Structure 1
Amino acid sequence: MQNFDSIRPFYDAEANAAIREIVDDPMLEAMMNFTFPSDTKEHWKDLMLHTHSLRDFQINFIYPGVKKVIEKSSDGLSISGFDVLEPNTAYLFISNHRDIVLDTSLLNASLYENGLVLTTSAIGDNLIKKPFLHTLSRLNRNFAIKRGVQGRALLESSLITSEYIKKSLLHENRSVWTAQKEGRTKDGNDATHRGVLKMLTLCEEGPNPFGYFEKIKLVPISISYEYDPTDILKMPELLAKSRDEKYIKSENEDFLNLLRGIMGTKKRIHIQVNGILDEEISEIAKMDINQAEKLSHLASIIDQRIWKGYKLWPSNYIAHDLLYGNEEYSGCYTAAEKSDFEKRLIEKVDTKNALMVKNFLAMYANPVNNQKKSLESQTTG
């Protein structure tokens, strides 16, 4: 049995002591003032000091905070497909990834409201270097993914992560959320990295690692923001990539992205559960091909589900028409919606920089292209 102390969330027995470590932190006070604006500090502190489990912390403090974020910074959250999920059942949710904290927070709020098992969720350890954020993430049932490691250290880290996920799903009946690739998708072009799927199978002993997927319930998730609250913050990395330059993050960039994601304008948000891939995995398992090819097949199926389930908003169609200089999707948005989007573009981007404009528009347009590809694949298939 691996020792998971370097990555795991707190155990319930550790929750109260961890809360006491941060209960006087100014950042926690700011969070609680936002979440409970009419409450007194003495009252929420007293409730927190009497909290002794991660679930109680999530339900009584994180969940109301997420609801307040939805109320203050969006035009509402809609969901679909959750009816295929069963209570008291653990799922591996593999999702496209747009926002550092909100993707998982919104999913867990939706799971809670539907009486379903909440997730333990992957988060890069680069995002939780501040002691307060590290403690808060562990109270919110996050497990850490080590970033910036290579060679043997990467293999060892991946194995521990794989075994932790397996333990959560099969021994603790705890759902798990992980992104389809390392880090957020900056350009809107969602793609499942085979390396993530390979990592998941490292815990499986024997000659057939792919058999791991037959033991679990894999669910692709699509999350769609009408406006990406961190769209402009993703521009420097996209520009560097387009110039084949190495991108180096500024010191507080991750933290700034985290805050902007929570409080930035999102308009409408949608989460789509794209079915359980039991039959698809069973079919792949029967194929007379090697493990790498099986993982490629599975990655392709996850992509198709995520693309098809992605809720396309007027912003996506407007960006597509602006990017390609036509009106192919003009029936999917109003003149007022186009005007609002163009205003956002002008406010956020130096419109004299053609490359920056192209990258900004592509970020919103790529989901349209991907959904078109998924529909074409469905037709030919």
Structure 2
Amino acid sequence: MSKFDEIRYFNDQEVNERLQSIARDPMMKAFMNFTFPDTDEQVWLEQFKNIHSISDFQHQFVAYAVRQILAKSSDGLTTSGFDKLDKNTPYLFISNHRDIVLDTSLLNLVLLEGGYVMTASAIGDNLVRKKFLNVLAKLNRNFLVQRGLPLREQLTSSQTMSEYIKEQLSQENRSVWIAQREGRTKNGNDSTQQGVLKMLAMASGDQSLTDYFKTLKIVPVSISYEYDPTDSLKMPQLLAQHRDEEYIKGKNEDFTNIISGILGQKKRIHIHAGEVLDRELNEIAATIDNKNKQLQAIAQVIDRSIISNYKLWPTKYIAYDLLHNTHTYASEYTEQEKQLFARRLEMRIDPSDPVSKEYFLAMYANPLVNKLKIQENPEG
């Protein structure tokens, strides 16, 4: 028994048996029919017998699935910043979080095709309660973030996860992906939760916070979708918060969000890899003594990187102009793009409800608003 057994992904020697355990699941059939629509079931069932590592599974199946998602539900994926990374170095990628499955899947496709170290990726255990999803996640190098624990167990779980992430980076030479916050950003305001950084710091041992964070080689990642395929699905929670009501998830809500994110139209997608945090950590160490204030400053550095490198698609400018009833950014989009967005707005929410309309538009406009704030205050 390893202390990581409750959260870890599968070892390579476990892969074949675990894959065979879900090979005939109806959801696997649906997954494979989507990925290889012209291939007979017996062909891939036979191929599964030769899968003996996570790398095999990712190269021969998962990468094809992600490319199919891009082909069928987007107008392509572009990237920037990755050329500054070393191909043999493991990094801790901390990214904004918009889509449950795609954020990390798309990043890993970029890493795979570029010859970089692929990631072990954090995923909430609430999202993989179904056996098929749990096994599939661990076959794709996902490790579990345990949700809904009592406070004492939560602290123990955070300590274990912190040590696991450290082990992946320092001993396994494995990059790690983690979202900057628990749960997806619903309102377009990408901000790093200090709790995430506190968890990462729990394995620092005798090292100072900033020295330890330098060893993690933190790379902020900005993921930008032209259209969010789950935009309307995020509205009920936003409206409940507006009414100061408790929001209770529907029974299959997470699964619906996963499928909608995969199959829904995204148009263009861009991923930017920021620069490794190093100089900024030295400056924080030199100017701030208090650990909590250091965590706050590190969160701000990550936020500034993610927001300033976030690709602003025409939809962000259109939403801003519609929200404020202006033509300030009319040069950033065409009339056709504006009409398409307005039609989407009408189809996905009740446009006669001013609160719904405001929240929907703000969801798209806030990345622009936040970038403007950074440009107005470049020193932070």
Q: TM-score, normalised by structure 1?
A: 0.98
The aligned counterpart of 1:325 is 325
Superposed CA offset, 1:196-220 (max 9, x none): 1011000111373443202121000
d(CA) in 1 for partners of 2:162 and 2:211? Answer: 14
Q: Establish whether residue 131 from structure 1 lines up as the match of residue 131 from structure 2.
A: yes
Asked if the contact 2:97/2:180 (under 8 Å) is kept, the reply is yes
Residue number in structure 2 paired with 1:204: 204
Q: Which amino acid aligns with 2:77?
A: L
Instruction: Measure, in 2, the Cα distance between the counterparts of 1:287 and 1:159.
Output: 28
Residue identity matched to 1:14: E
In the TM superposition, what is the alpha-carbon distance from 1:231 to its structure 2 partner? 0.3
Distance 2:60 2:74 in 1: 22
**After superposition, where does 1:177-188 map in structure 2 within 5 Å?**
177-188=177-188
The corresponding residue for 2:158 is 158
Question: Is 1:80 aligned to residue 77 of structure 2?
Answer: no
Alpha-carbon contact 2:308-2:374 (below 8 Å) kept: yes
Partner of 2:231: 231
Q: Quick one: which amino acid aligns to residue 143 of structure 1?
A: F
What amino acid sits opposite 1:160 in the alignment?
Answer: T
Deviations 1:101-128 (A, max 9, x none): 0000000000011100000000011100
Q: Does 1:21 align with 2:39?
A: no
Any unmatched runs of 5+ in structure 2?
A: none
Gap regions ≥5 residues in structure 1: none
Superposed displacement of residue 2, structure 1:
6.2
For 2:92 and 2:281, how far apart are their aligned partners in 1? Answer: 13
2:375 corresponds to? 375
What's the offset of the Cα at 1:275?
1.2
Q: Which residue of 1 aligns with 2:241?
A: 241
Does the 8 Å CA contact 1:202/1:209 hold for their aligned counterparts?
no
State the distance in 2 between where 1:208 and 1:309 align: 29
- Does structure 1 retain, via aligned residues, the 8 Å contact 2:288–2:294? no
SS of residue in 2 equivalent to 1:248: coil
Counterpart code for 1:194: Q
Structure 2 match to 1:294: 294
The answer to whether the 8 A contact 2:214-2:277 is kept is no
Is the Cα contact below 8 Å between 2:87 and 2:116 reproduced in 1?
yes
Within 5 Å, give how 1:40-59 maps onto structure 2.
Answer: 40-59=40-59
How far apart are the structure 2 equivalents of 1:174 and 1:295? Answer: 24
Q: Which residue in 2 is equivalent to 1:344? A: 344
Paired position in structure 2 for 1:191: 191
The answer for the alignment partner of 1:147 in structure 2 is: 147
For 2:119, give the aligned amino acid: T
In 1, Cα distance between the equivalents of 2:100 and 2:207? 36
Q: Does residue 1:278 correspond to 2:278, yes or no? A: yes
The two structures, once aligned, show a CA RMSD in angstroms of 1.2
Instruction: Identify the range of structure 1 (354-363 vs 40-49) with the bigger mean alpha-carbon deviation.
Output: 40-49
Deviations 1:258-296 (A, max 9, x none): 000000010000001111112111222233421111111
Structure 1 residue 337: deviation in Å? 0.3
The residue identity in structure 1 corresponding to 2:374 is S
1:218-274 Cα distance to aligned partner (Å, 9 max, x none)? 000000000000000000000011111110000000000000000001000000111
1:245 counterpart SS class: coil
In structure 2, the residue matched to 1:362 is: 362
% identity of equivalent residues: 53
User: Would you say the 8 A contact 1:76–1:268 is kept in 2?
Assistant: yes
SS in 2 for 1:8: coil
Q: Is the 8 Å Cα contact of residues 2 and 163 (structure 1) preserved in structure 2?
A: no
1:99 and 1:199 map into 2 onto residues whose CA distance is 22
2:36 aligned partner: 36
Partner of 1:102: 102
Is the CA contact (8 Å cut-off) linking 1:210 and 1:295 kept in structure 2?
A: no
Say if 1:128 and 1:134, in contact at 8 Å, map to a contact too: yes
CA contact (8 A) 2:189 2:370 kept: yes
CA distance in 2, matches of 1:138, 1:278: 32
Per-residue CA distance 1:22-49 (angstroms, 9 max, x = gap) = 1111111111111111212111111112
CA distance in 2, matches of 1:288, 1:248: 40
When the two structures are aligned, how many residues end up with a matched partner? 380
Cα deviation digits, residues 128-155 of structure 1 (max 9, x gap)? 0000000000000000101112311110
TM-score by length of 2: 0.98
| Matched residue SS, 1:351 | coil
Quick one: distance in 1 between partners of 2:344 and 2:168? 42
Which whole-Å CA distance do the structure 2 matches of 1:63 and 1:291 have between them?
41
**Distance in structure 2 (CA, Å) of the matches to 1:207 and 1:23:** 46
Distance 1:334 1:147, change over 3 A: same
AA at the equivalent of 2:134? H
Structure 2 residue identity aligned to 1:79: T
Distance 1:349 1:364 in 2: 14
Residues in 2 aligned to 1:222 and 1:326: alpha-carbon distance in whole angstroms:
27
